[in-house]
Structure 1
């Protein structure tokens, strides 16, 4: 069985591209997955210059790839479910390089909001629609609500 579930933060913005010919969208991004070290171990790793997180490459296809590109950015918390895929390629010098990445079937935005180029935007400044929560009104009488 080849199944993986990861929760982590994006280490960089997703890169969206479209496959020539078919026009299928594909997004690539890297997730930083915390190793779950104790405070003491984390300090020890940091003092030795060792990583306290694993960096995993993620590949997403189709409409989900477009959504990732639009709504995710560096630092956002995300959960993915998918499978591990490996591959290899030859460099220009003839050296063989091996790759490992996760092919995501499902992406859950645990922190999300439309990406903007505004430099003063905070990570927790979510924008769910054009007008935000100001567009909603409280229900005065809940007798008309069907549940």
Structure 2
């Protein structure tokens, strides 16, 4: 099986629909910036499908612009348009996801204290995250 990890932003608020069997289904898109084109701000858009409790959790905690990490696998589909042309599409079926934003950045996180999340170091620095004040004494190494 081919697994994919996507880090990006939710394109629109996630809406959940329910099947006849009362299973939750969420379809949404994630915009992923292209890292190799720094001067040209381009992004790729990936369609994600989630089922069950994960779909409900996504719609509850993620909004348009929220950062997310999605662990998924691709699923190829084919359909025929009304004019008779066949169209191949690829959707990604969500296996797991991770919260990225803190509450202060507009994201809602479950069981997470916003003060416990250190801010990342700016890009171009020494690429190490600074240790938040008061946490140095709790580290298991020196």
Task: Report the TM-score, using the length of structure 2 for normalisation.
Answer: 0.69
- Structure 1's unaligned 5+ residue stretches are 47-51, 114-122, 134-147
- Alpha-carbon contact 1:10-1:74 (below 8 Å) kept: yes
Q: How many residues align?
A: 112
Instruction: Output one character per residue of 1:57-93: Cα deviation in whole Å (capped at 9) or x when no partner.
Output: 0111100000111111110000111101110111122
Structure 1 runs of 4+ with >3 Å offset: 125-129
User: d(CA) in 2 for partners of 1:63 and 1:112?
Assistant: 22
Match of 2:138 in 1: none
- Alpha-carbon contact 1:71-1:112 (below 8 Å) kept: no
Match of 1:18 in 2: 18
Matches within 5 A, 1:25-104: 25-37=24-36, 41-43=37-39, 45=40, 52-104=42-94
Change in CA separation of 1:80 and 1:127 when aligned onto 2, cut-off 3 Å: closer
- Alpha-carbon contact 2:66-2:106 (below 8 Å) kept: no
SS of the aligned residue for 1:65 comes to helix
Match of 1:105 in 2: 95
- Structure 2's unaligned 5+ residue stretches are 115-142
User: d(CA) in 1 for partners of 2:109 and 2:86?
Assistant: 45
**Structure 1 position 128, deviation (Å):** 5.9
**Structure 1 position 33, deviation (Å):** 0.7
**Structure 1 position 126, deviation (Å):** 5.1
Task: Report the TM-score, using the length of structure 1 for normalisation.
Answer: 0.67
SS of the aligned residue for 2:70 comes to strand
SS of the aligned residue for 1:42 comes to coil
User: d(CA) in 2 for partners of 1:7 and 1:27?
Assistant: 18
Change in CA separation of 1:81 and 1:125 when aligned onto 2, cut-off 3 Å: closer
Greater Rg over alpha carbons, structure: 1
